[in-house]
Amino acid sequence: MTGPLPEFALGIGWRPPICGLIAQLDGLDFCEVVVESLPVTGAPAAPTVVVPRELAALRDSGTLVVPHGVSLSLGGAEPVDRGRVERLARCAETLAAPLVSEHIAFVRAGGLEAGHLLPVPRTAEALAVLVANITRTQDGIGVPLAVENIAALFEWPDNEMTESEFLTEIVERTGVYLLLDIANVYANARNRGRDPLAELRRLPTERIAYCHIAGGAESEGRYHDTHRHPIPAQVLELVAEFVRDHPVPLMLERDGDYPPDDELLDELDAISNAAARAPITATARAVLR
């Protein structure tokens, strides 16, 4: 099934510390911006999104921009906040976005903010809540929605479904797209002693909108998806195996401890090489070396 992004697209997470480098990339198909990082003005019911000039220049040059939310709390017991949905909608409109994305997680309960993406119990009751909140969000944003699987260091003891069964139910009941984080699948499988490729192949791959690829590190016997370390060779091997049968858009996600520009460009090269795709070239590379 054709998704909202070109199937062979390559992208990167747009972040202010690396926006200068991103501006010099040739062949960048899309970028993703964290919704909560964009300032807003005006009333909550009708917010005006302030787009940094560097991001606006990318949008105006034809690079697709995907707003990516982290605070909607789709898996929370309360209905999604209308103001947050409206902000997603305004971001999509302002950025001429082909879709928006959020997480299958909850971040608040009883008025308390967790500050983290927390896993949702894979139960029929939690599934019903997710379906209702996803449907409310889809009805309010005006563009397709993709939901992302998260990395979780624990599982709820009352889980009734596997992750693949849970994600398949979400997709089938709502028609939502999947933002497949391949690094998160790797982290969860590694920490639980499972085969990450087998876990990937069980997912509803026909509804993938795009994929995140990120780095992580081992700490105290657990693998942590940090977004602050280079992509491990095992994740790149997983990408190569998976995209052989599933030509899907791929995106480098980096959220801190940014390496020198050449190293970041090498990570983009590693993704394109793993996927056997034309690389994202950079006028920057000629300047930096």
DSSP notation for 2-66: --SS-TT-EEEE--GGGHHHHHTEES--EEEEEGGGS-EES-TTS-EE---HHHHHHHHTT-EEE
pLDDT at 285: 42
31-45, 159-173, 204-218, 264-278: range with lowest mean pLDDT: 31-45
Q: Which two tokens stand for residue 227?
A: 């977004």
**Mean pLDDT score of the chain:** 93
- State pTM to two decimals: 0.94
Name the residue among 84, 1, 11 with its Cα closest to residue 268: 11
Q: With beta carbons less than 8 A apart as the criterion, state whether 30 and 11 touch.
A: yes
pLDDT at 47: 82
pLDDT at 112: 63
Would you place residue 45 in the very low, low, confident or very high pLDDT band (cuts 50, 70, 90)? Answer: confident
Q: In the beta sheet, which residues pair with residue 112? A: 109
Q: Which two tokens stand for residue 63?
A: 């690079």
Domain 10-288 in CATH: superfamily? Answer: Divalent-metal-dependent TIM barrel enzymes (3.20.20.150)
Q: In the beta sheet, which residues pair with residue 211? A: 180, 250
Whole-angstrom Cα distance, residue 142 to residue 139? 7
The arithmetic mean of pLDDT across residues 244-273, rounded, is 96
Length of the chain: 289
- Residue 105 predicted with pLDDT over 60: yes
Condensed to tens digits (0 to 9), the pLDDT of residues 20-37 reads 999 999 999 999 999 999
Rg, C-alpha atoms of the chain: 18
Helices (H), the chain: 19-23, 53-60, 82-94, 124-141, 163-174, 182-192, 196-201, 233-243, 261-274, 283-288
pLDDT at 195: 96
pLDDT at 114: 63
pLDDT at 116: 75
Whole-angstrom Cα distance, residue 144 to residue 32? 15
Residue 156, number of CB atoms within 10 A of its CB: 13
Name the residue among 131, 64, 143 with its Cα closest to residue 101: 143
Q: How far is CA 132 from CA 12, 92, 122, in A?
A: 31, 21, 15
Q: How far is CA 155 from CA 65, 120, 121, 146, 147, in A?
A: 33, 9, 8, 23, 19
